[in-house]
């Protein structure tokens, strides 16, 4: 069977014809040709931005954008348009409409919205705050006790 593996591109459906011992690719959207590739006809003027490639498909100009750009003219970057990273986080475009946030110290989460539990320093008397998934713990100096190291240890008198 000439349809295995599928010779068609861009998720096209391969239809095998036993009597002709041949196949036909049923192309989706703007794809054409024997294997459903993009049109080879270039635009007279490349109107695509940011390194995109302009081709004529079904009589209309279509831009194929280089990652991570998207849009009808490859004019958009998700980080610049959506600004998804909060609390001083830095957005990095990783693909069309895909991103990753580099969070500022103390913040976590996909969009840097998980606030640190240890700010502003809940542990008293020099206690060390340790972040936990659902809160924090205070590691107290030996002289102090309590959830926030607020109480003094009662030292036995020798």
For residue 34, the enclosing domain spans 1-39
Kindly give, in sequence order, each residue whose CB lies less than 8 Å from that of residue 108, ignoring residues fewer than 6 positions away: 114, 116
Against a cut of 0.95, is the pTM above it? no
For residues 22 and 2, the answer to whether their CB atoms sit within 8 Å is yes
pLDDT confidence of residue 72: 93
Residues 41-59: what's their mean pLDDT? Answer: 85
pLDDT confidence of residue 139: 94
Rg (CA), the chain: 30
- Both 48 and 72 in a single domain? yes
Please report which confidence band the pLDDT of residue 116 belongs to, taking 50, 70 and 90 as the band edges.
confident
pLDDT at 44 over 70: yes
- Both 153 and 123 in a single domain? yes
CATH number at residue 103: 2.10.25
Q: What pLDDT, in 10s, does the model give residues 2-18?
A: 888 888 887 889 998 88
- Both 59 and 93 in a single domain? no
Q: Supply the DSSP string of 32-94, one letter for each residue.
A: BTTTTBPP--B-SS----TT-EEEEETTEEEEEPPTT-BSTTS-B-HHHHH----TT-EEEEE
**Mean pLDDT score across all residues of the chain:** 85
pLDDT confidence of residue 157: 54
Kindly give, in sequence order, each residue whose CB lies less than 8 Å from that of residue 20, ignoring residues fewer than 6 positions away: none
Q: Residue 73: phi, psi to the nearest 5?
A: -120, 15
Q: What's the total number of domains in the chain?
A: 4
């Amino acid at each position: 069977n000439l349809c295995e593996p599928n010779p068609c591109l861009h998720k096209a459906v391969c239809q095998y014809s036993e009597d002709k011992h041949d196949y036909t690719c049923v192309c989706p959207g703007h794809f054409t040709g024997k294997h459903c590739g993009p049109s080879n006809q270039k635009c007279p003027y490349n109107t695509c931005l940011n390194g995109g490639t302009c081709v004529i498909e079904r009589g209309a100009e279509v831009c194929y954008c280089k990652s991570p750009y998207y849009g009808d003219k490859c004019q958009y970057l998700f980080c610049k348009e959506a600004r998804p990273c909060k609390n001083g986080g830095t957005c990095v475009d990783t693909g069309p409409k895909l991103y990753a946030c580099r969070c500022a110290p103390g913040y976590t989460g996909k969009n840097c919205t998980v606030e640190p539990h240890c700010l502003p320093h809940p542990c008293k008397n020099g206690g060390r705050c340790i972040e936990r998934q659902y809160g924090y713990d205070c590691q107290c100096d030996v002289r102090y006790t309590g959830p926030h190291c607020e109480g003094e240890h009662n030292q036995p008198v020798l």
